[in-house]
Chain A
Amino acid sequence: MVTTALTDLWFGFGVALEPHNLMWCFIGVLVGNMVGVLPGMGPLATISILLPLTFGIPPVGAILMLSGVFYGAQYGGAICSILLNLPCHPPHAVTCLDGFPLTKQGRGGAALGITVISSFVGASWGITEMIFLAPVLVTVALKFGPAEICSLMLLGLLAGSTLARGSPLKGVAMTVCGLLIGIVGSDIETGTPRFTFGIPNLFDGVEIVALALGLFGIAEFMKSVNQLSEVDTKYTKVTFKDLRPTKDELRRSWGAMFRGTIIGSLCALIPGTGPTIASFISYATEKKISKTPELFGTGMIEGVACPEASTHSSVQGDFIPTMSLGIPGDAVMALILGALMIQGIVPGPQLISEHPDIFWGLVASFWIGNIMLVVLNVPMIGLWVKLLAIPYKYLYPSALFFVCIGVYSTGNDMFQVGETIVIGLIGYVLLLLDFHPAPILLGFVLGPRFEENFRRAMLISRGDSLVFIDIKDHPISAFFIFLAVLLIVVQLYVRLRKPKALIPELEMNAKPNNIAPVEP
């Protein structure tokens, strides 16, 4: 089995090293890094804005470019959080705790250098995991019938919506809304138009680009306009000589890096616990086993190394269920899956065997892309630092143009732009009411397949809804349902007798706080 995996990987490198694929990967990493560095632009907004650009590219190139955008944006976000104390992406909230003090001490460059190394270590482990774990998962998943797929999706949706930030109840509400938005359009079996309000443009359903750009573009801009404090670039003079950490810093980071990596990959195995939770747990662990826990928060290099390593290893781990089962763990993965579907590729366990070039090319490109990221950041750091100083008032109007033209280009139809505006307005109302719109995307992407499998499962069982928990005939499905119930029970238990101080603190830190105070 190891040899098959290695030959497949070899094939993947062949695909990823083809000049045009290499070029798309490079463009993705470069643009992702560039946009991700800009204050106030998280990976979700970056990917949604750049998604329309990939439509004209063949599927392999498109997916390589998008994942390049993703980890590029993530690394760009790390620069922004370490140098400016502005976490645009929730997992980086932890990195700020020690990264920004280091910057104030003039060691910001070293913190960035350590970030590069730890993200590479974390990602490499995650990729290795993907190479060996994904094919195993696929062999199991290929035996799944509609009932099993349905239960697994239910579990994935529940985990994705309740373990994310904010109130679990509201998360579930958002997921259901996403499923409902996924219903808009013609019914798959009978062709009956549903929830289209008589508008013919909606018969094909809501465009994923319009949904993503409305929720993570327009709504976010409305939230952040005039709210971002003036960016303080006092500490951001970093040249590429500063990137090199001292021997002592490096020596202290190794252990933290490996522990973070392991924690991240463990978190990736539990559906729904994305990089945010992984980074929190690893930071807490590091603090606990440290000889000087009281120094955390004052600029410990370990406090930068461990969350970054765990974030990256858990992100790579998140690709496993996304690519092998077709079930995304969070909104970013849902977007990448959506991009695959736009290219006409059906996600699911058959993906690896039907499109080996996409899967193995993607795996290989992760490595190539991560190396590119290292190579790119060393000489370009000066430029990134200059980008940090771009004020938001120039940024959001430009981004709005990309939103409009991007949505227009999906169907050369102004109707889609209008759709985005409406979704953006609704999204902002939801944000005001303390809903987090990310699970909407999860529900939207999974919705149609969920319904299809549900209907099929019920048809096969002749209307017996107990088929999902039938231990004798469908033990796997029953197991998934059991896990889902367990998930709810545990959450209720934790909520009812929670250590009250802990959860609000976690939530407060985990918010994608664009308006985090810049310390004087």
Chain B
Amino acid sequence: MSTAYLKPASLEDAYTARAEHPDYVLLAGGTDYMVGILHRPAPVGVIDLFGLSALTGIEAGEGVLRIGAAATYAVVLTDATVSESFPSLRTCVSEIGATQIQARGTLGGNIGTSSPVGDTLPVLLALDAILELGSSRGTRKVAYAEFCTGYRQTLLKEDEVIVAIELPLPSPGVQFWRKVGTRKAQAISKVMVAASARGSGETLTDVRLAMGAVADRPIRLGAVEALLEGQVPSLELAEQVRAAVADAITPISDLRSTAPYRLRSAQNLAARFVLQRVEAQA
């Protein structure tokens, strides 16, 4: 049986298609979905959202930057507000794949696929991202921190589409992103750490510390955030962070890395977030 293909011309058409065909695959840029396509059974159908104009814009509004779910990474990289206010997101996106992938991959696709190694996902956690989910029943907003509920499991209902990602403005003044892979470009991450903090002066407040590739889903490390909250970065604090990270995560060994390497890298990157502030204040 051949695969059916629906290309909605509007968001309403997309909602209708989704409601009528919950068994179809929602397709954006295809950069993850198409990998290994020859070795899987063909889907019943696809609903192609790539390039749907209602989903591709980026707008800075009142207290929020709204990024359309089907905005490509290439578009995210050229947005002025992303560059000015969300340098951690910009750096993260610039390190995803290479130019060929950035031309097709989308933020909504990364979120929908919900791989534990999705690069943008820890950044969305660190930036308190809110997702707008839409369906024929209406739209609702869900904090990204609540959205991913398990290994490739999300709160997206079977008639829903990811519409937009909202990042609160003003953005955190301190932002951090580092990923470790086998190569600077075009590498699937072994570990990634995203962090942010607000507050004036040297004290860290509203600390967010998130990691990817260390659990079955992207996670925030609440205990480490609590340790950092209200503190002034110091060498001692960085050491405490290393210990707290070891207590907080239990990474696994797989084809991309080993558990001890992942843990050491995660500890070092989290400590780096603190040490970078120490250096900035020196």
Do A and B associate with each other? Answer: no
